[in-house]
Amino acid sequence: MVITTAAGPTTGRSSLLPLIVLSLCGFISVTTELLPSGLLTGMAADLGTGISAAGALTSAYAAAIVLTVLPLTSLTIGVPRRLLFAAILCIFAAANVLVALSPTLPVAVTGRVLAGVAHGLLWATIAPMVGRISSPARAPRAMAIVFAGTSLGLAAGAPLGTLLGQALGWRSAFLILAGVSLLLAVLAFLTIPMVSPDSRRPLSVARAIRLPGVGLIIGGWAVMLLAHFAVLTYIAPFLEHAGLGEMVGAALAVLGITGLLGVGLAGRVPRRALFVGLLAAPMFLVSGLLGLSVLPLNLATAVALLGIWGIGYSAAAVFDQQVVLVVGHEAPDTVTSISVVAIQLGIALGAALGGLTVDILGVTWVPLIGAVFAAGSVALRMSLRRFLPHHPLAAAS
């Protein structure tokens, strides 16, 4: 990972607090993204619309990310990172307040669009920032700390937000999330180092995507997301068909908790073994999905296979982000913003693939189709070996 500022990376204990703050930023973004899913029925009723129309609260969020992340990353390339993170978190707070106070669906969708804008810019900025405040030798641990926030958001943030919404009302849940976002904005401003923006002229998107290995790792990551969300979107009907409807509510928690384990394991893999981790992690995903498709399922087996899936998926994301920054070291912000767009497209196409599979083959086939695409992601990654040795940081321990 190349340091792109005049100041070198911080090391030791001084860099731990900023990494924890960045991890909490990821937690806020994932919780904000997923919160409507658990409260959709109540939101639709209060906003005077149907559940299908209320689905725009999710689709608008994703569309905002795809449409704005690339231009906004370019426009903010010269903004000091401390100020940028604080501003992004303030946007999250304002967006959640707007949703909480919305009298109609269009107003709520506007708030979700604003939150999607913040989400995309956050994830285009957060990974390059890790490289600027951590030494190359500490990069795996640093990336694991930051990515733990996403798994924690899935395992605890979204379920807790749903419980708060059910107990206090969905508007209160969004207001609480807005308050937490605002407090985190203050913490980010006080703790994130005053790192100067990259002084180099940024590469265009067209040039950045042609950097050696960039297209392969972003493509491999997107295909993995496609496989993951093809199955995740239809995990409830799949488990119900298997006679395990009672564990539908726990499935996301299992994936999130084991995802934390996967992130922790990925953080312990030395940089010299980056390529091995890059291939091994998604193989866990393949194994978990394949097991769901061919093994006789009971409660214990399903939990074990969901756990294997969760470990592999979350660990792979840590390795993918490291490789994105290694092969894209000439333009880390631009390359990361491209990966954010590709990830969102992978999520959308994955949901569509899952639906198509259900319509044509039936819900029992969804994990097998997901496993096939996850294996395709592994195949794309295998070609990266010839690019990583050209980057000394990939071999640093």
360-380: pLDDT as tens digits:
999 899 999 999 999 999 999
pLDDT at 3: 32
- Please, which pLDDT band fits residue 85 given cuts at 50, 70 and 90? very high
> Which of 149-158, 364-373, 388-397 is predicted with the least confidence, judged by mean pLDDT?
388-397
- Please, which pLDDT band fits residue 394 given cuts at 50, 70 and 90? very low
Residue 282 in this model has a pLDDT that exceeds 90? yes
Average pLDDT over every residue of 82-92: 95
Amino acid, res. 351: A
Q: Cβ atoms within 10 A of the Cβ of 389, count?
A: 10
- Please, which pLDDT band fits residue 199 given cuts at 50, 70 and 90? low
The most confident of the ranges 105-114, 158-167, 259-268, 319-328 is: 105-114
| Structural domains of the chain, with CATH | 14-191 (1.20.1250.20), 205-395 (1.20.1250.20)
pLDDT at 141: 81
Of the CA atoms within 13 Å of residue 246, those in its CB half-sphere come to: 4
Residues in Cβ contact with 311 at an 8 Å cutoff, skipping those fewer than 6 apart: 258, 259, 261, 262, 265, 284
Nearest-5° angle of CA 374, CA 378, CA 382?
165
147-395-333-5 Cα dihedral, nearest 10 degrees: 110
pLDDT at 42: 85
Q: Report whether 90 contacts 185 (CB < 8 A).
A: yes
pLDDT at 392: 42
pLDDT at 281: 94
**Cα 392 to Cα 291: distance, rounded to the nearest angstrom:** 38
* Residue 130 exposed, middle or buried by CB count within 10 Å (0-12, 13-18, 19+): buried
Helix, strand and coil content of the chain, in percent to the nearest 5, comes to 85, 0, 15
* Residue 61 exposed, middle or buried by CB count within 10 Å (0-12, 13-18, 19+): buried
Q: Which residue has the higher pLDDT, 10 or 48?
A: 48
> Which of 26-40, 81-95, 239-253, 301-315 is predicted with the least confidence, judged by mean pLDDT?
239-253
Share of the chain above pLDDT 90, in %: 39
pLDDT at 2: 31
pLDDT at 254: 86
Residue 111 in this model has a pLDDT that exceeds 80? yes
pLDDT at 11: 43
- Please, which pLDDT band fits residue 348 given cuts at 50, 70 and 90? confident
Of the CA atoms within 13 Å of residue 270, those in its CB half-sphere come to: 4
Q: Cβ atoms within 10 A of the Cβ of 318, count?
A: 28
Of the CA atoms within 13 Å of residue 46, those in its CB half-sphere come to: 17
Residue 92 in this model has a pLDDT that exceeds 90? yes
Residue 9 in this model has a pLDDT that exceeds 80? no
> Which of 67-71, 200-204, 369-373 is predicted with the least confidence, judged by mean pLDDT?
200-204
Q: Report whether 7 contacts 80 (CB < 8 A).
A: no
* Residue 12 exposed, middle or buried by CB count within 10 Å (0-12, 13-18, 19+): exposed
Residue 14 in this model has a pLDDT that exceeds 70? no
Residue 13 in this model has a pLDDT that exceeds 70? no
Backbone torsion region of residue 98, taken as left when φ is above 0, otherwise alpha when ψ lies between -120 and 50, otherwise beta: alpha
Q: Which tokens belong to 26?
A: 């990821």
DSSP 357: H
pLDDT at 96: 97
pLDDT at 10: 47
Q: Which tokens belong to 310?
A: 């969760």
Q: Report whether 40 contacts 170 (CB < 8 A).
A: no
Residue 359 in this model has a pLDDT that exceeds 60? yes
Q: Which tokens belong to 246?
A: 């009672």
pLDDT at 98: 97
- Please, which pLDDT band fits residue 5 given cuts at 50, 70 and 90? very low
- The closest of 274, 277, 344 to 1, measured between CA atoms, is 274
**Cα 95 to Cα 112: distance, rounded to the nearest angstrom:** 7
Q: Which residue has the higher pLDDT, 261 or 54?
A: 261
Residues in Cβ contact with 352 at an 8 Å cutoff, skipping those fewer than 6 apart: none
Q: Which tokens belong to 322?
A: 């490291």
Average pLDDT over every residue of 295-311: 93
pTM for the whole thing? 0.78
- The residue count of the chain comes to 397
